[in-house]
Structure 1
């Protein structure tokens, strides 16, 4: 091959999220002289990973479908893109919502390898619930290959059809416990004293921030110097800030936004908490364990995130007070902040290994189309 194989990834946006972290971890580890990633996004505004994508040699194709909801225009734009870029013989789609429309267009344009990827095991039950169910039914119909981040996510979306599990792998060299970094980051964030309860996730109904705030209030009642560290952004951020202020917790909650060096930020935490209503996997739980942070997740999070001895799982029905009790127990685990990389690699979540396997798969599938 004189030119690298180019894979077109279709994503909502390249924000600081789990799907995007997987893609960037793979992108950093592939041989980019043989394989390149390009991205079709659903927003026109700049996004979190844009600079790095362009530095690595990727192209970003922007549409406005999430801004104006003009699906016919999106389909025309995609059709024009695929006709002017015949090198896209592999299209890898990540959101089922736009995928229900993108995959039929790709099939009509003659794209021979069309991947539908499942990243969740449930759907928020709001006004969009029924239309989303319809899109889920259509999603895989025009795909040639089915991927999922976990067995639960694949079974939820693909309903009995065979699929491959692609683990949301992480860089085990970057995500590793380091005492000096822990001390430095806590000082940078003003978290020198007290237990730090941490969470990484978009401010979205799925992530269940209000339950986390309820839980933290019980922790604070027993540990008056405790702090809650909320990393992320999203549509519910203003509502969560109001809730924190209304409950008089502002002096104990830190919301510094998003970080490119998120592996450093985990180091500051004493316990990581993920009380999600649902998760396809819950990659952040694996990242936290890799850094040696005791991790507590809801029982709606996939069991495939259990990769180390510093992991615990609880039903949300147990209530915030019981969760607070478990958090305080975990904060005293003797194995906290020790090297967990052997557990991560043994569980198949090492980015370098996953990238090699995915690179071989993409190139083999591309060669089969010649």
Structure 2
């Protein structure tokens, strides 16, 4: 039996973020007899996936962060030359240019730029850098990927998207994993010291500018005034965590907000919630939005989030949708809508984001390109 082909997957970090979750979802379900992944990521990552990657046979290559460009380039160029990859898949959005340049120099024939995000001007220099680097990815990429239409159009342009030059690789999930679990609800509420009667507002995401915890806390403050027993469950970690904690103290919400940190049982944590909020300032494609809907939660998203993430009922009856999109300028409206909501288990159209179907499609892409350049 021939050995599986190896694909270099280049990520910024291996922590507990959304991009890592997407790549891991695909890796778990891909046919390891035909395809294996080698992971390249910043060496100071927390790397909670280590044991699983080792068990599944992945290649593990910690490298200097791209904030050290010379060392970063040297490490990637050397590895790509040594291993002779036919395919390098960079998940760094606009920062992919640095990994793709190394792949181009190393003679890798298939170089995938994968965009997972968009941008908002509120991040100052970070946003400016995104716009400056965006066009250069086209110079070194042979394939243009995006997590969805909005991210694809932002990165590569409307004309490229409409001509079919952008391959949309959805942020697919294992749908069965996220179905509502009443036993998990009881167990996790007990573990987190949440009374059964409490109204729990949940959020899953890194503490970053994009996720907009600041607005979420203002909404929750209004909810708390009308539902004194309410709790806010924040799942994740990130650079703005202390800033969020300071705001919680200023608002007098210390006893009502629960921080779980990064968790491996996020799929179960959804069951402990009553509603799910995602007031993001921008997103590429929020995988947590799919997960929460599959769980049957009433979901509240900002109008900055692409409607691609809204799952439609199989019945076609829009009254069965459990998603409400709202503007970020009106916390009172969010509060009112949330308090009127309830869990509404619905049979949703999941085929488009089913990991088994999406995995077969990306397997076909990798194998065809490997064969063509073998």
TM-score (normalizing by structure 1): 0.93
Q: Tell me, in whole angstroms, the C-alpha distance in 2 between the residues paired with 1:143 and 1:10.
A: 14
Pairwise mapping of residues 199-348 of structure 1 onto structure 2 (< 5 A)? 199-308=203-312, 309-317=321-329, 319-330=330-341, 332-333=342-343, 335=344, 338=345, 340=346, 342-346=347-351, 348=352
How far the C-alpha of 1:128 sits from its partner, in A, is 2.9
Deviates more, 1:180-189 or 1:205-214: 180-189
1:90 maps to what in 2?
87
Q: Tell me, in whole angstroms, the C-alpha distance in 2 between the residues paired with 1:52 and 1:289.
A: 27
Pairwise mapping of residues 149-164 of structure 1 onto structure 2 (< 5 A)? 149-159=147-157, 160-161=159-160, 162-164=165-167
Shift >6 Å, 4+ stretches: none
Q: How many residues align?
A: 359
Indicate how the Cα distance of structure 1 residues 133 and 43 shifts in structure 2: closer, same or farther if over 3 A, else same: farther
Q: Tell me, in whole angstroms, the C-alpha distance in 1 between the residues paired with 2:145 and 2:311.
A: 21
Q: Tell me, in whole angstroms, the C-alpha distance in 1 between the residues paired with 2:139 and 2:50.
A: 31
How far the C-alpha of 1:344 sits from its partner, in A, is 4.6
Deviates more, 1:175-184 or 1:302-311: 175-184
How far the C-alpha of 1:327 sits from its partner, in A, is 0.9
SS at match of 1:359: helix
Q: Tell me, in whole angstroms, the C-alpha distance in 2 between the residues paired with 1:59 and 1:171.
A: 23
How far does the alpha carbon of each residue in 1:299-344 deviate from its partner, in whole angstroms, 9 at most, with x for none?
0001011104111101112x111111111122x35x2xx3x4x525
TM-score (normalizing by structure 2): 0.92
Q: Structure 1: which 5+ residue stretches go unaligned? A: none
Q: Is the contact between residue 203 and residue 209 of structure 1 (CA under 8 Å) also seen in structure 2?
A: yes
Pairwise mapping of residues 168-183 of structure 1 onto structure 2 (< 5 A)? 168-183=171-186
Q: Is the contact between residue 15 and residue 46 of structure 2 (CA under 8 Å) also seen in structure 1?
A: no
How far the C-alpha of 1:97 sits from its partner, in A, is 4.3
How far the C-alpha of 1:51 sits from its partner, in A, is 2.1
Q: Is the contact between residue 311 and residue 350 of structure 2 (CA under 8 Å) also seen in structure 1?
A: no
Q: Is the contact between residue 12 and residue 43 of structure 1 (CA under 8 Å) also seen in structure 2?
A: no
2:188 maps to what in 1?
185
1:40 aligns with 2:45: no
Q: Tell me, in whole angstroms, the C-alpha distance in 2 between the residues paired with 1:123 and 1:117.
A: 19
Q: Tell me, in whole angstroms, the C-alpha distance in 1 between the residues paired with 2:185 and 2:46.
A: 31
SS at match of 2:283: coil
Q: Structure 2: which 5+ residue stretches go unaligned? A: 313-320
Q: Tell me, in whole angstroms, the C-alpha distance in 2 between the residues paired with 1:150 and 1:40.
A: 24
How far does the alpha carbon of each residue in 1:170-201 deviate from its partner, in whole angstroms, 9 at most, with x for none?
11121111222222222222222211000000
1:118 maps to what in 2?
115
How far the C-alpha of 1:129 sits from its partner, in A, is 2.7
Indicate how the Cα distance of structure 1 residues 311 and 207 shifts in structure 2: closer, same or farther if over 3 A, else same: same
Indicate how the Cα distance of structure 1 residues 123 and 50 shifts in structure 2: closer, same or farther if over 3 A, else same: farther
Q: Is the contact between residue 184 and residue 269 of structure 2 (CA under 8 Å) also seen in structure 1?
A: no
How far the C-alpha of 1:100 sits from its partner, in A, is 1.3
Indicate how the Cα distance of structure 1 residues 45 and 207 shifts in structure 2: closer, same or farther if over 3 A, else same: closer
SS at match of 1:40: strand
How far the C-alpha of 1:43 sits from its partner, in A, is 3.2
Q: Tell me, in whole angstroms, the C-alpha distance in 2 between the residues paired with 1:137 and 1:191.
A: 49
Q: Tell me, in whole angstroms, the C-alpha distance in 1 between the residues paired with 2:328 and 2:148.
A: 21
How far the C-alpha of 1:45 sits from its partner, in A, is 4.0
Q: Tell me, in whole angstroms, the C-alpha distance in 2 between the residues paired with 1:22 and 1:45.
A: 17
